[in-house]
Each structure stands twice: as C-alpha cells, then as structure tokens.
Amino acid sequence: MPHDLEPKIKYLTQDETKRLFDCIESTDSVHKLRDLALFRVAYRCGLRASEISLIKLSDYNRTKGEIYCRRLKGSNNNTIRLDNKAKYILDKYIDEHKITSENDSLFISQKNKPISRQTLDYLMKKYCSKANIADKKKHHFHTLKHTTAVHLAESDMDIKELQWWLGHKAVSNTEVYFQFTTKQQEKMYNKLKEKSEMV
C-alpha cells in the first residue's frame, strides 16, 4: 500500500484478531481465563485500557449478558450486550475466580488490584508477538478499540449506530472508521455492478 494511502489508525484484520484470541486461548498461563475474558469484553465493547479497570461486578447484568461501560475522555457511558462467546468466558471466569462482591473490580492483577493499562499493554505485546502479528505498531492495547470500530463499520453498522456503540459525543470522531478499507472498497464496487456500471 502506498505510504500516503496507509490507514491513519492501526487495527487488526479479521484474521489477525482470530489469531490473537486463538493465541490467548492456547496459552498455558495461570491467567489465561482472565486474559481471555478481558480481551473478549474489550473487543466486544470497544473499551480503552483505562476503562477495563473501571468495570465492577455490579456493572455486569449476568441475566441479560450486558455490561455497563464507563467511558473516559469525554465519551458517553453506555450498556453493551455481550456476544455468546464473550458471555460464556466471562461467566466462567467469574465463577472460577469466585468474584462475588458487587464492588469488586472484574479484572484484577496478581497484586489483587484493578488491572493497570501498563499490564494490558504488556499483555497485548506478548500475545501479538506469539500470534505472529508482524506490524509492531499494532502491539498496543488501544489497537483493540480501533479494531472493534473498523470491524463494526465493515459489518454494515451505520455511522450513528457506531457512534453510540463507541460512546462518541461527536460524530466526527466516528467518521475515521469509515475509511475505505479493502472490504469496504469491494462493497462499493459491488454496488456499482448491481446498479449497472456507470456510462
């Protein structure tokens, strides 16, 4: 890709994302279940590293499979419903780690404190390396938020829906995710074919 056409944001492709989750799932770390749960939740909800540590057990409605997301940097808080896999893994993690207090942080470090953004960045670097994701600029936890946004944009979610999902107050913050990725270009050309080529 020519330098001037490189995406302004770094995100994982669908294949890279699958490799990342497969890598976490196959690790022999004692923290495997915690890491898998927090990465799944962060990806589903489009959360920043600093927002992961804010999630408490009381923010999770297990019956509905929904998480109340406290968003930082002036974004709007919202409630996101988890996909089945993320819910299954999160429920298993909560049960196995006996997290019962409503005020307990869901994701804690070895020191029994809310997991830090530094730890999350370390984990992202570790798992991206193991998953053979070549571009080192993608080895940052914030890449996961960008990944969520691009994947949702590619799934035909419109800009107002994506704005709500990510908690953006201004739609201008959401527009960057509707850049012309390869998948979006193909959809554009397919629309032209369906409407017949331009004269």
Residue type, 95: D
78-90 residue pLDDT tens? 999 999 999 999 9
At residue 79, the pLDDT reads 98
**CA separation for the pair 41, 34 (Å, rounded):** 11
- The CATH number for 10-194, chosen from 3.40.80.10, 1.10.443.10, 1.10.260.40, 1.10.4010.10, is 1.10.443.10
DSSP 90: H
Residue of 73, 74, 90, 84 whose CA lies nearest to 34 = 90
At residue 1, the pLDDT reads 42
Domain extent listing, the chain = 10-194
- Can you tell me which residue has the tokens 């920043």? 48
**What average pLDDT score do residues 27-47 get?**
96
97-146 residue pLDDT tens? 999 898 889 999 988 899 999 999 999 999 999 999 999 999 999 999 99
Q: What is the pTM of this model?
A: 0.88
25-34 residue pLDDT tens? 999 989 999 9
At residue 3, the pLDDT reads 41
